Structure 1
Amino acid sequence: MEADSTTAEQEYECDSSTGHRENILLNELSRNYGYFRQIVLPMLRNGNEKDLLEWMREFNLIQPSVKCAKSLPDCRMVITASKVVDKYQWQCKTCNQKVQIRENSFFKNVYCPLQTIFKIILAWCQDMDYEHLSNVFGLKKQVVCGIYDKIERAVYGRPLYQLGGFGIVLLVDLYPDFVDELYPVSSKNDSAIKTQHKILCLADTNEIPTRYWLHVINGSFSFPSENNNTTFKKMNMCDETLHVIEKFALPGGLCAIGGGVHLTSLRENLRSSSMFEGVITMNHLTTHSNVDMQTFMINRIWNPIIRLCEAAQDLPKNKIQSYLSCALWRWQMESSDPFLSLVHLISQQDYKIPTNNKNSSKPR
């Protein structure tokens, strides 16, 4: 097997001006990222490639071991220094068979150095513009976009938390319906509101900052499988919203649902189920809350979500869910270390190509 990381190293080298801009950007991006700055950044310098690979093996970002394709009795693959971009590759001590370090990993078919990929992962955590990154790192835009796409597939549809639970009030509403309820006087005309994509909004009132989940209404519900294939089941809006709540919310507690006409059937179905201890309307909850809670419910709970949903309206419909998932992920990770959490998430994905169905490996 020919290792496809044997591309000449000079293909990825940057000129001095690019290197200077890269250093300025890295100092800016890593300022509040202690783990990246102290642990990862030193390994990204020239001469530390072996340390970087060992760290990647410890985090399961690359395979800890591989088998030789010839499978002779004495075959044994070891990491050896080589004149390839990654500086090392797997090589059989018996038959000299070679396999690239990136085989069956997130980094497969990403045509830039490993060091640059980790810098771009850090930039993604801060929602850095991909065109700016392509200029700074001297890469083609499609290379940076490809890395962003791989990250977004790892994050897509995987909230950090389930919402609600016993003793907690779960809020459920539909964008843009609640915009008219909260802000009757709107600068937007009725036709603009009606043509917008509807987004189901869930909020957990027990946490500070508030935890959210957003789901764009598609008329279907997706079930991602372990090999990155996705099965879609067509359903009406009521069934779709019900499936989302069952998947992303914990049973128990109180569920407060917006008063919009599109959620009437959902309220009835949830009341007839045993998932929640009680199902009420948002107006009922607000009326029976204290002044502070009323202010929070009316003026604050949906404000950041409205801005996010409005920003998503200009995107193609098949891109909205990915955009919302990634925005929420960044938002919820602000208080921790997004880079380290994302590295762990990437390491948990299965990038192996099924041997019995090569076509099924194509990502969503």
Structure 2
Amino acid sequence: RLTDYFQMTIKPLLEEGKDGELIDWLKDIGLLQRAQKCVNPDCLGLKPMEWKRARIVDKFHWSCPMCKKKASIRTNSPLADFHCSFKVILDTITAWCDGISLEDYTKENKTVKGVIAKRIYSTCTTVTDWYMQSHPDLGYLGGENSVVLVDTFPDGCMTTVPHNNNYNKRILCMADTSHMPARIWAHILESKSLDSQKLAAMVNDHIRPGSTIVASPGLFPFLEGIKGMAEIISVEALTALDPADYQRSLKNLETIWKATVSVCQEVQSMTISEGEQTLRELEWRQVFPTPLAQILHDIACYANSRSA
């Protein structure tokens, strides 16, 4: 499922003989340093290092014009820890963007070391987690003329498919349907029993006044008294209008929640912190449905924030 961005921008740079252009582009988007100073104290950093051709994987390295000391083209860059070719890095990030599981990706690409692919996938998830925590406004949903769904997994109305009742994590999920795909906010609840005060606080923290809330039957009694919303209705009020032979409302809800349900299932086998990070990755993906250019930009910004 290669995106236009990959086909138009990245793929031509991966062709034979385009190494210099590829490195220029990686510098332009912030994934490689534009300049480097020699660490040799005798040089005093008087002249910037130059990049020169070399018989190595990266095809180029930094070279000091004074002492001739060499340094990797990746020095102090976001790509320094990925010990593989630039092509493998970009292919692996593209696979992560396309939602291909790590297991499937390494199975299909035998030449890619599993430990390298795992590191790249993990970096992408870490970066999306950082991005969402740096942009809390993206976790604020709805507003006037907006419908926000509020439900819990696994016991709500998010899917009509029977599932494993042994799921041990209950996850509160909100979906702002004024966006396509719906913007999501999700959080693992500390207790399996619902606390009306905590639920109301989370709704007020993440749903703008004036929104219409559609709540699952299990949540509706806890939320119906919340002030400031245009309307608060139960999913049951929607399903009551459906024809007897077709669950139109539930099918529509299932479509909206599909990606969220899949992630909520994955989260069940994770620790709480891993699960929360994975839910923030879901939120990021819903904000950026064609994510390749965005994740490359965010990796560079994340690296800058760490070195600042």
1:339 paired residue among 282, 292, 307:
292
Read off the aligned partner of 2:89 and give its amino acid letter: I
Cα 1:257–1:134 change in 2 (3 A) is: closer
Does 2:150 align with 1:172? yes
CA distance in 2, matches of 1:138, 1:88: 22
What do you get for the CA RMSD once the two structures are aligned? 3.9
Matched, 1:253 2:211: yes
Distance 2:125 2:283 in 1: 12
The equivalent residue for 2:111 is: 138
Q: Distance in 1 between matches of 2:200 and 2:271?
A: 17
Counterpart residue number, 1:348 = 301
Relative to the length of structure 1, the TM-score reads 0.65
Conservation of the 8 A alpha-carbon contact between 1:106 and 1:150: no
Which of 21, 29, 32 pairs up with 1:59?
Answer: 29
In structure 1, distance between residues paired with 2:103 and 2:163: 32
String of CA shifts for 1:243-280, please: whole Å, max 9, x gaps: 5863x54454344444536983x766x53xxxx44463
Q: How has the CA–CA distance of structure 1 residues 349 and 263 changed in structure 2, closer, same or farther, with 3 Å as cutoff?
A: farther
Which of residues 92, 101, 126 in structure 1 aligns to 2:64? Answer: 92
User: Pick from 259, 267, 276: which aligns with 1:321?
Assistant: 276
Question: Secondary structure of 1:315's match?
Answer: coil
Match of 1:280 in 2: 232
Moved more, 278-287 or 204-213: 278-287
User: Which of 146, 171, 187 is the matching residue for 1:215?
Assistant: 187
- Paired with 2:196 and 2:59, the residues of 1 have a C-alpha distance of 53
User: One-letter code of the match for 1:165?
Assistant: G
Partner of residue 124, structure 2: 151
Amino acid of the structure 1 residue aligned with 2:81: N
Q: Deviations over 1:290-314 (max 9, x none)?
A: 769xx76433224534742553254
Q: Which moved more, 1:79-88 or 1:251-260?
A: 251-260
2:23 maps to a residue whose letter is L
**In structure 1, how many angstroms separate the alpha carbons of the residues matched to 2:295 and 2:144?**
29
Taking structure 1 as reference, are residues 245 and 72 closer, same or farther at Cα in structure 2, changes over 3 Å only? farther
User: Unaligned 5+ residue runs, structure 2?
Assistant: none
Contact 2:38–2:45 at 8 Å: present in 1 too? no
CA distance in 1 between partners of 2:176 and 2:262 (Å): 17
Aligned equivalent of 2:265: 311
For structure 1, which segment, 34-43 or 46-55, has the greater mean C-alpha deviation from structure 2 after superposition? 34-43
Measured after TM superposition, the shift of residue 115 of structure 1 is 1.3
2:234, 2:130 → 1: CA distance?
26
SS at match of 1:164: coil
TM-score, length basis structure 2: 0.75
Does residue 114 (structure 1) correspond to residue 95 (structure 2)? The answer is no
1:225: which partner in 2?
none
Higher mean displacement: 157-166 or 105-114: 157-166
Structure 1 residue aligned with 2:141: 163
Q: Helix, strand or coil: the match of 1:46?
A: coil
Tell me how far 1:105 sits from its aligned partner.
2.8
- More moved, 310-319 vs 170-179: 310-319
Aligned with 2:187: secondary structure? strand
Counterparts in 2 of 1:38 and 1:280: CA distance versus 1, 3 Å: closer
* Contact 2:62 2:73 (8 Å CA) reproduced: yes
